[in-house]
């Protein structure tokens, strides 16, 4: 007896899966995992609850699917730090990529933040495994730049944490930022980009 590959999804199945995940992203990013319900997600997706359960057996299954997609794209800018590039340029480029993601993917950022605030029950193994491995790898690269005098002396892990904090803030605390700045559209992101580029270029310039 030979194994057979699963049948490919139909166009309708792909459409409904995408609608469920997009609706769930909106609901989870606003209500968090605990506050979200399958009824809310089904309504936002324009589907009945039984139809939703045909695609995903539980709220947790939807949440895990979203987090899996998010983590892959979320870490791509860090993976792209180039050992052969100019160190200061590479760090600033990473900052601006992260800021662009905060601008373009605010719901995804809030989804991740909510998961972390709950203690990361669904991605803790990922954080202590693949994520830690990637951060440690890039921290060694940053440390090598500092040791060679190509950037200012810096604790590489705290540098990465500071980049996450100063970029994802604009997504996770969007209401606060907009309440204070009252920007027209997303104009404040342009100001943030100029400020952060100046901050990190000055801060990372070798002594």
Q: What is the pLDDT of residue 8?
A: 66
Sign of CA dihedral 89, 91, 92, 96: positive
Tell me what the mean pLDDT of segment 119-134 comes to. Answer: 92
CATH number assigned to the domain covering 11-66? 1.10.10.60
Helix (H, G, I), strand (E, B) or coil at 85: coil
Over the stretch 16-72, which tens digit does the pLDDT of each residue have? 999 999 999 999 888 888 899 999 999 999 999 999 999 999 999 999 898 888 888
Whole-number Å distance between alpha carbons of 158 and 46: 44
Residue 6 CB neighbour total at 10 angstroms: 6
Q: What percent of the chain has pLDDT over 90?
A: 72
Kindly report the CA angle at 10 between 4 and 11, in degrees rounded to 5? 150
pTM as predicted? 0.84
Give me the residue spans of the domains in the chain: 11-66, 75-204
User: Any residues with CB less than 8 A from the CB of 185 and at least 6 apart, and which?
Assistant: none
Q: Which of 172, 94, 109 is nearest to 139 (CA)?
A: 94
CATH topology of domain 75-204: Tetracycline Repressor; domain 2 (1.10.357)
Residue 189 in this model has a pLDDT that exceeds 70: yes
Name the band, by pLDDT with cuts 50, 70 and 90, for residue 5: very low
pLDDT for position 161: 97
Give the Cα-Cα-Cα angle 76, 78, 79 (nearest 5 degrees).
65
Share of the chain above pLDDT 70, in %: 96
């Amino acid at each position: 007896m030979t194994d057979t590959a699963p049948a490919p999804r139909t166009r309708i199945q792909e459409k409904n899966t995408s609608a469920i995940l997009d609706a769930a992203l909106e609901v989870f990013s606003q209500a968090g995992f605990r506050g979200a319900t399958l009824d809310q997600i089904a309504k936002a997706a324009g589907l009945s609850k039984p139809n939703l359960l045909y695609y995903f057996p539980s709220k947790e299954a939807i949440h895990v699917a979203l987090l899996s997609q998010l983590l892959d794209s979320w870490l791509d800018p860090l993976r792209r730090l180039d050992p052969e590039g100019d160190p200061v340029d590479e760090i600033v480029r990473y900052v601006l990529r992260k800021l662009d993601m905060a601008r373009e993917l605010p719901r995804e950022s809030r989804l991740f933040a909510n998961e972390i605030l709950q203690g990361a029950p669904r991605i803790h193994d990922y954080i202590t495994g693949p994520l830690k491995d990637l951060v440690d790898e890039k921290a060694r690269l940053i440390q090598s730049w500092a040791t060679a005098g190509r950037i200012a002396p810096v604790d590489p892990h705290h540098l990465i944490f500071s980049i996450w904090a100063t970029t994802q803030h604009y997504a996770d605390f969007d209401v606060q930022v907009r309440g204070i700045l009252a920007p027209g559209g997303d104009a404040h992101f342009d100001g943030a980009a100029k400020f952060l580029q100046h901050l990190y270029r000055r801060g990372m310039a070798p002594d």
